[in-house]
Amino acid sequence: MTVTAVIGSQWGDEGKGKAVDYLAERADYVARFNGGNNAGHTVINEYGTFKIHLVPSGIFAKNAIGLIGGGVVIDPQVLIDEIKMLNAANVQVDGRLWVSPRSHIIMPYHKVLDGLYEEAKGAGATGTTRRGIGPVFADKVSYNGIRWTDFTSKAFEERLALQLEVKNKIIVALGGEALSYEKIRDEYRGYYLQLKPYLKELFSLVQDGLKSGKNFLLEQAMGTFLDTDWGTYPFVTASTTIPSAASAGLGIPPRYISNIVGVTKAYTTRVGSGPLPTEITDTKSAVYEQFGEVAATTGRIRRVGWLDLEIVRTAVELSGTTELCLTKLDVLSGLEELQVCTHYELSCERVRYADVDSYGLEQVQPVYKTVAGWREDISQARTFEELPLNAQNYVTMIEEAAGAPVKWIGVGPEREATIRR
Ligand code: GDP
Ligand code: IMO
Ligand code: MG
């Protein structure tokens, strides 16, 4: 039995979707355990190209069962649309996807409040995905949430009425329009009926799977530095993104997690506000163009930067990463020289990521070393030896600095564009 957690080592969008789709072949269970549809995971395989927000990216593996744990927050319309989209693409989801009734539901007021808080913060806004993530997790931990289990009794109507009484006051005070109880009640009852066939308590299923030696592949959403505790607070997301979240979010005891794959982009990107020490700010530069990406969930342009080894090293230490999956190495092809941040200094003294807060991280001086690049297109390489020597050196530099071996290397967005070492 293996329980493998796939964790992004940076600020999200490291290529977790592709990594999970690639690794799912031998999995019995593929599971999401944190976040919600703020995640956008890209999968490109024989079924097509997908931007997945809630269903585990491993669902394409024929023998795998998909699980959405209680740690995930669910926007029902998004989940329903995603199931339909996958079924239409001949990915059979019915009977192969189970959603924990413990999961909290994103309500219309969560999305409205997410937007109103962002507007109210003005220049200090977090740059959220506006999917209601902060407000729904706030309700979860302040005992104001609504879960799927609430539909099995009168709890849903009672809780909704109470929440709307409170939430409408806040919405109106912030300049928004009050929401209708009846409209939401009917809409969400409809969602419940559509999702009922997928709702199932996961406890026994997970326990039996662990006892009978099944393989679990656990897919994190967001990245290590968007973690509420260890990320660049307050420029973070509302859920835990380090491997411990997999335990709480699925009911898997921590000692069962045997492998931790750190998905690491060969450079750095970030969406939304907050420090990005190695950011390339010259938006007219050729490197900015080359690293450029569009966000899978919101369509925003991702901020880009050079590889930051202090960030990757810290992620490996925090998560106990056992192997790295290096993605997008192909994107660096053609650059004569590459800058790599080896560590940070503040007032000429070395500082670690964890020594400073977000304000401090804006002040640190990233110390760079210049390494030689390569001209060749590497997208067809399928063995490490086929990579140009400078690309090989880039990979070994990362594993030495990070303290974990690079076991997989991505040389293109498609599943097969992967080198296994
Ligand atoms: P996730 O949120 O971590 O799943 O990552 P996203 O899907 O949001 O963003 C990663 C982007 O990089 C997507 O467009 C992927 O198709 C793409 N991608 C992933 N791995 C590779 C790779 O090795 N090479 C290239 N060129 N693209 C990749
Ligand atoms: P995947 O799983 C990149 C960022 C948002 C914002 C902050 C808070 O695709 O890697 P939120 O909507 O969560 O309240 O926004 O977190 N963020 C992500 N950035 N990839 C993601 O997911 C993200 N999910 C949230 O841009 O800065
Ligand atoms: Mg993404």
Burial level of 313, CB count in 10 A (0-12/13-18/19+)? buried
Testing ligand 1's pocket by substitution, the residue of 18, 43, 327, 415 carrying the most ligand atoms inside 8 A of its CB is: 18
191 shares its domain with 284: no
Tokens of 123: 């220049």
Q: How many domains does the chain contain in total?
A: 3
Instruction: Tell me how far apart the alpha carbons of residues 102 and 150 are, in angstroms, rounded to a whole number.
Output: 9
User: Is the pLDDT reported for residue 293 higher than 90?
Assistant: no
Residues of the chain with pLDDT > 70: what percent?
Answer: 100
Q: 323 and 276: one domain?
A: yes
What is residue 94's DSSP assignment?
T
CB 227 within 8 A of CB 236: yes
Q: Do both 275 and 314 map to the same domain?
A: yes
The answer on 383 and 324 residing in a single domain is: yes
Query: 272 alpha carbon to ligand 1 midpoint, in Å?
Result: 18
CATH code for the domain in which residue 185 is found: 1.10.300.10
The preferred substitution site among 20, 38, 232 for testing ligand 2, maximizing ligand atoms within 8 Å of CB, is: 38
320, 328 contact by CB (below 8 A)? no
Residue 152 CB-half CA count within 13 A: 8
| Rounded Cα gap, residues 296 and 294, in angstroms | 6
Task: Pick the atom of ligand 2 nearest to 220's CA.
Answer: 2
Residues 88-112: pLDDT tens digits? 999 999 999 999 999 999 999 999 9
The pLDDT value recorded for residue 216 is 98
Atom 11 of ligand 1: nearest residue by CA position: 15
Residues 389 and 318 reside in one and the same domain = yes
Q: What is the pLDDT of residue 1?
A: 86
Compute and round to an integer the Cα radius of gyration of the chain: 22
pLDDT at residue 330, rounded to an integer: 98
What mean pLDDT is predicted for residues 169-176?
97
pLDDT at 220: 98
CA atoms of 352 and 356, how far apart (whole Å): 7
List all residues whose CB is within 6 A of at least one atom of ligand 2: 8, 12-13, 38-41, 126-129, 131, 133-134, 221-223, 226, 237-238, 271-272, 296
For ligand 1, say whether the CB of 327 is within 6 Å of any of its atoms. yes
- Which of 13-17, 73-77, 297-301 has the weakest average pLDDT? 297-301
Q: Which ligand is nearest to the CA of 331?
A: 1
Please indicate whether residue 278, judged by its CB atom, sits closer than 6 Å to ligand 1.
no
Indicate the residue among 143, 173, 195 that finishes a domain: 195
User: What residues have CB less than 8 Å from 19, skipping those under 6 apart?
Assistant: 6, 261, 263, 325, 327, 408, 410
Instruction: Tell me what pLDDT residue 295 has.
Output: 82
* DSSP state at residue 117: H
| Judgement on whether residues 245 and 312 belong to the same structural domain of the protein | no
12: Cβ contacts below 8 Å, ≥ 6 apart: 39, 221, 222, 223, 226, 270, 271
Catalytic status, residue 104: no
- Whether residues 141 and 214 share a domain: the answer is no
The tens digit of pLDDT for each residue in 391-414 reads: 999 999 999 999 999 999 999 999
Residue with tokens 């989209």: 85
Q: Which residues make beta-bridge pairs with 8?
A: 223, 263
218, 246, 261 — which closes off a domain?
A: 261
Q: In CATH, what number is assigned to the domain containing residue 10? A: 3.40.440.10
* Residue 40 and residue 58 in one domain: yes
Output the CA–CA distances (angstroms, integers) from residue 353 to 223, 232, 304, 379, 395, in the order listed. 15, 10, 19, 33, 22
Q: Please indicate, yes or no, whether residues 207 and 285 belong to a single structural domain of this protein.
A: no
CB atoms within 10 A of CB 335: 17
pLDDT of residue 299: 85
Domain encompassing residue 306? 264-420
DSSP classification of residue 179: P
- Distance (Å) from CA 5 to ligand 1 centroid: 18
- For residue 283, pLDDT over 90 is answered with no
The domain spanning residue 293 has which CATH number? 3.90.170.10
Which residues lie at CB < 5 A from ion ligand 3? 13, 40, 296
Centre of ligand 1 from the C-alpha of residue 43, in Å: 8
pLDDT band at 296 (very low <50, low <70, confident <90, very high): confident
Measured from the CB, is residue 413 less than 6 Å from ligand 1?
yes
Q: Which listed ligand is nearest to 220 at the C-alpha?
A: 2
As a whole number, mean pLDDT of residues 164-179 equals 97
Domain end (from 215, 232, 261): 261
Percent of the chain with pLDDT over 90: 96
The DSSP secondary-structure symbol of 147 reads B
pLDDT at 255 over 90: yes
Which mutation among 42, 219, 263, 303 tests ligand 1's pocket best, with the greatest number of atoms within 8 A of CB?
Answer: 42
What is the Å distance from ligand 3's center to 154 Cα? 37
Task: Annotate 231-263 with b (16+ C-beta within 10 A) or e (fewer).
Answer: bbeebbbbbbbbbbbbbbbbbbeeeebebbbbb
Cα of 309 from ligand 2 centre, angstroms: 21
The answer to whether residues 127 and 86 belong to one domain is: no
Q: Which of 55, 80, 81 is nearest to 69 (CA)?
A: 55
Amino acid at 198: Y
The pLDDT mean for the chain works out to: 97
Ligand 1 nearest-atom number relative to CA 417: 23
CB atoms inside a 10 Å sphere around CB 133? 26
Q: What pLDDT digit, counting tens, does each position of 341-379 carry?
A: 999 999 999 999 999 999 999 999 999 999 999 999 999
For residue 64, give the DSSP letter: P
Q: Residue 181 pLDDT > 90, yes or no?
A: yes
> Which residue lies with its CA nearest to atom 16 of ligand 2?
237
Q: What is the Cα–Cα distance from 414 to 19, expressed in whole angstroms?
A: 10
pLDDT mean over 5-25: 98
Residues 394, 398, 404: CA angle, nearest 5 degrees: 140
Respond yes or no: is residue 53 known to be catalytic: no
Distance 130 CA to ligand 2 centre (A): 10
Alpha-carbon distance values, 20 to 5, 24, 56 (Å): 10, 6, 8
Whether residue 317 contacts residue 403, with contact meaning beta carbons closer than 8 Å, is answered with yes
Residue 350: predicted pLDDT: 98
Q: What is the pLDDT of residues 194-220, one digit of tens each?
A: 999 999 999 999 999 999 999 999 999
Q: Which residue has the higher pLDDT, 298 or 47?
A: 47
Same domain membership, residue 182 and residue 209:
no
| Claim to verify: residue 279 and residue 404 sit in the same structural domain | yes
